[in-house]
Structure 1
Amino acid sequence: MTDAAGLPRVTPTTHVVLHDLAVRRDRDDWIVGRMATRTFVALPYAGARAVQLLGEGRTVARTAEMLRAETGEEFGITEFVEDLAGLGFVARIGARPVPDTAPPPASLPRLRPRHVRFALHPLLPVLVAALLAAALVALVRDPGLLPGYRDLLWSRHGSLVLLSGAAAGWVLVLAHELAHLVTARAAGVPGRIRLGTRLQFLVMQTDISGIELAPRRHRMTAYLAGIALNLSVASCLLLVLAATDPGPAGGTRSLLAAGLLLALLPLPFQLMVFTRTDLYFVLQDLTGCRNLYGDGLAYARYAARRVTRRAGPDPSRDLPAHERRAVRGYSAVLVVGTALCLAFMACVTLPADVTLLVRAARGLGPGHGLAGNADAATVLLVLGSVNVLWAVTWWRGRKARRAARR
């Protein structure tokens, strides 16, 4: 027999077979998850103990009895098993298998943890720190090594600067995300790289759901791997610049300076934790929050409704004290940061993009020569494709979120 959700019916004598689950204690809770599907949940002691007892082959009734004896409280095991099945944690209820969904595909599936175990070696952060320290020493000795925006304009042909900058920038972005993927894979997390949007920004992002089950050092390494790669690339380029004969402007030195600047440019973006950057996940982990962004957004909406006296209950009231403080503080950062970002887009980025596109469109035609037409076409191609790609990615993400809510 099955219930309304199509699952095999759970009775007191039912044995439950669980999928391979990982468990890690986190403060007062336990993180329980299934790495294959990148699904995890925070449970209190009773829930984690129930998972353990069911996994050891106890019946539903026996599990309830043991929990009652250990905690002195009643525990709804039947509903709990149904919830676990809904999360995809249950393989069989009694003799009947539970329908399972295919796990999301991983990027670079042939890359095994043993291939990239070096990414979690304790010596690697020391090497990155030594490289950064050497670059800082070189910079202190010669402050002129620090590049400026003019270093990006290494050619008088704007289209060449734009194309090379876009190509180098996307290579660095891919390397940044591969650093996250490799580190997570070393910890046994599949990981998946895909395009996404953060407000008006088109980003490449790596889903490393499941890293929450890893030890803290591994989690922090995975979160900070991309920043470490950017800093390492920038440090190497700066050291090469320091060893390069200054000579006249242009040539190899100009390309090295442009590459150094491109490696450093994404780092300030990481401070925008209201867009869920790498540092956001570090902050979420350090504060012990389960969903800092989601809870912060819910509290911000509650605070906005208080102005109209239609607030309803405070969504943060049931959170532990340390989470409640972090969520309320983050909600202010979320509101202010988002407002400033959107204001900058409306006042600066959007008018600049429109102006460039209009100029490029006007620069096409028989009266502008081959070089002028090529330059205008390049601007239209690069800038237009980025904006179209952002719109398509945003729309697909919106549809995916709607499907998930349904």
Structure 2
Amino acid sequence: MTGTAADGSPRIEPSTRVLLHGLAVRRDRDEWIVGRMATRTFVALPAAGARAVELLGAGLSVARTAWTLCDETGEEFDVADFVGDLAALGFVARIGDVPVPDGEPPRASLPWLRPRHARFALHPALPVLAGALLAAAVAVLIRRPALLPGYRDLLWSPHGGLVLLTGAAAGWALLLAHELAHLVTARAAGVPGRMRLGTRLQFLVMQTDISGIELAPLRHRLTAYLAGIALDLSVASALVLLLAGTDPGATAHRLLSAALLLALLPLPFQLMVFTRTDLYFVLQDLTGCRDLYGDGLAYARYAVRRAVRSPRPGPAGGTGDPSARLPAHERRAVRLYSVVLAAGTVVCLAFMAAVTLPADVTLLVRAARGLGPGHGLAGSADSAAVLIVLGGVNVLWAVTRWRDHRSRRSAGTA
């Protein structure tokens, strides 16, 4: 029998045995990634921590687990506290004979989609096919460079409202397909995944949470991270091949050119790794960092404070450098990334203040003035389209930003 502590939690004694939920484990350099897929909760543990999880999962008591670890490593471990930490993470189903309350698992997008349905997304032949399609498109463009679209190709119709509406519809369709590629690939690896709207600085984005992919093999992880970019390139490549077979003066050619430009436009954004794009997660994985963005942001703030005034003393008389606690390989990556993060953020926000915001305000004011009987049906329709599309995107950005801010506050995070 297991008693309870004063706060109602199960008492952990030397003789206590625990029942763990189904946990997945993967070695990563000098650490082990341990997680529970159902709740998408994961933690990096040293070898001794992973061994403790193994021993507890095999049914050993707290005391027996501590004795075994001491015998194997020559060091003593507080296994009782470790069990408490595992319980707080939601990894423990029962302590002794006392069940541990379990939270509601996060909802997954498209729950009917099973790993067996999406298995094709991880087939080794798929990247080969995508690469062959891209190579064919590049060969066509080398022979016919005039097929490359310019910004004028977006203006395929004299009716600006129609151009804006169709462009927005096509852009959001491509964005949805991009995120579905992440979701399907992650689901093939057994990761639930969830799609939702989010913000990155001044950008409204759709994002897919594929927490749990950390436990997959490297090829599966990189495939899941790069699936969206691969889809964008495949769509663009297919459009190039279709363009090559159409008459340059035909409406179909103009529409295909506009669609090609819309498919290519998101690709430069992926280089903005300071906004946690797909390439950011590739970079984080390959550098072995646990939280490249969070650690980079913390170091950038520290560097700014140090530049404007003397840094505050850290623990044990240290300088307060948040990267000092990281392993050497992570520390180098975090410090380099912090430079990219700070510079990229400043440039993006400056561009928004100097270009994007004034342009949006000007277009919205003009659209509002273009409404009414004195501007004709076509003019009013164009103005209404601008207000709906451009105004709607800005309102949606503000609502999403506020929702995320409120969620972080309720979770107690910055």
TM-score by length of 2: 0.96
Q: Determine the C-alpha separation between the residues in 2 that align with 1:156 and 1:6.
A: 70
Report matched runs for 1:124-273 at 5 Å: 124-246=126-248, 248=249, 250-273=250-273
1:366 shift after superposition: 2.1
On the 8 A contact 1:317/1:324 being kept in 2, the answer is yes
Does the 8 Å contact 1:23/1:32 carry over to 2? yes
Tell me the amino acid that sits aligned with residue 342 of structure 2: V
| Deviates most, 199-208 or 396-405 | 396-405
1:320 lines up with 2:324 in the alignment = no
Structure-2 separation of matches of 1:354 and 1:242: 39
SS at match of 1:37: coil
Contact 1:135–1:239 under 8 Å retained in 2: yes
How far apart, CA to CA, are the structure 2 residues paired with 1:85 and 1:265? 46
Determine if contact 1:302/1:311 at 8 Å carries over to the other structure. no
Q: Secondary structure at the match of 1:305?
A: helix
In 2 relative to 1, CA 103–5 (structure 1 residues): closer, same or farther, beyond 3 Å? farther
2:377 to 362, 370, 374: 370
Deviation of 1:405 after TM superposition, in Å, equals 1.9
* Residue 304 (structure 1) aligns with: 304
Report the Cα distance in structure 2 between the residues aligned to 1:326 and 1:127, rounded to whole angstroms.
Answer: 34
- Structure 1 residues 267 and 94: alpha-carbon distance in aligned structure 2, compared to 1, 3 A threshold: same
Structure 1 residue 350 corresponds to structure 2 residue 350: no
The answer for unaligned runs of 5 or more in structure 1 is: none
Q: Is the 8 A contact 2:182 2:228 kept in 1?
A: yes
Letter in 2 for 1:336: A
Q: 1:108 aligns with which of 103, 107, 110?
A: 110
Q: d(CA) in 2 for partners of 1:304 and 1:175?
A: 40
- In 2, the alpha carbon distance for the partners of 1:85 and 1:389 equals 38
Letter in 2 for 1:229: L
Q: Report how far residue 400 of structure 1 moved.
A: 0.9
Give the superposition deviation at 1:6: 4.1
Name the CA distance, whole Å, in 1 between partners of 2:93 and 2:352.
49
Aligned to 1:49: 51
Q: Does 70-79 or 155-164 show the bigger shift?
A: 70-79
User: Following the alignment from structure 1 to structure 2, what is the Cα–Cα distance between the partners of residues 6 and 103?
Assistant: 23
2:291 is the alignment partner of 1:288: no
Q: Is the 8 A contact 1:113 1:186 kept in 2?
A: yes
- Secondary structure of 1:62's counterpart equals helix
How far apart, in 1, do the equivalents of 2:8 and 2:356 lie? 51
Equivalent position of 1:405 in the other structure: 412
What letter is aligned with 1:383? Answer: L
Question: How far apart, in 1, do the equivalents of 2:114 and 2:166 lie?
Answer: 33
The AA in structure 2 aligned to 1:285 is D
Identity %: 77
> 1:173–1:6: structure 2 CA closer, same or farther, 3 Å change rule?
farther
The residue aligned with 1:83 is 85
Shift of 1:5: 5.7
Aligned twin of 1:70: 72
Q: Which amino acid aligns with 2:241?
A: L
- SS of the residue corresponding to residue 31 of structure 1 reads strand
Q: 1:36 to 1:271 in 2, by over 3 A?
A: same
What's the C-alpha RMSD, in Å, of the aligned pairs? 1.0
Q: Residue 330 of structure 1 corresponds to which residue in structure 2?
A: 337
SS in 2 for 1:300: helix
CA distance in 2, matches of 1:364, 1:243: 41
What is the aligned counterpart of 2:34 among 32, 50, 60?
A: 32
**CA distance, structure 1, for counterparts of residue 167 and residue 5 of structure 2:** 58
Alignment: residue pair count:
404
Q: Secondary structure at the match of 2:27?
A: strand
Gaps of 5+ in 2: 314-319
Mapped partners of 1:82, 1:343: distance in 2: 47
Alpha-carbon distance in 2 for matches of 1:319, 1:142? 51
Contact 2:246 2:252 survives alignment (8 Å)? no
Contact 1:184 1:190 in 2 (8 A): yes
Q: CA deviation at 1:245?
A: 3.0
Instruction: Look up the match of 2:15.
Output: 13
1:51 is paired with a residue of what secondary structure?
A: helix
Partner Cα distance (2:7, 2:124) in 1? 47
Q: In structure 1, what residue type is equivalent to 2:372?
A: G
Q: CA deviation at 1:244?
A: 2.0
Deviations 1:86-140 (A, max 9, x none): 1110100011111111111000001000001010011111111111001000000
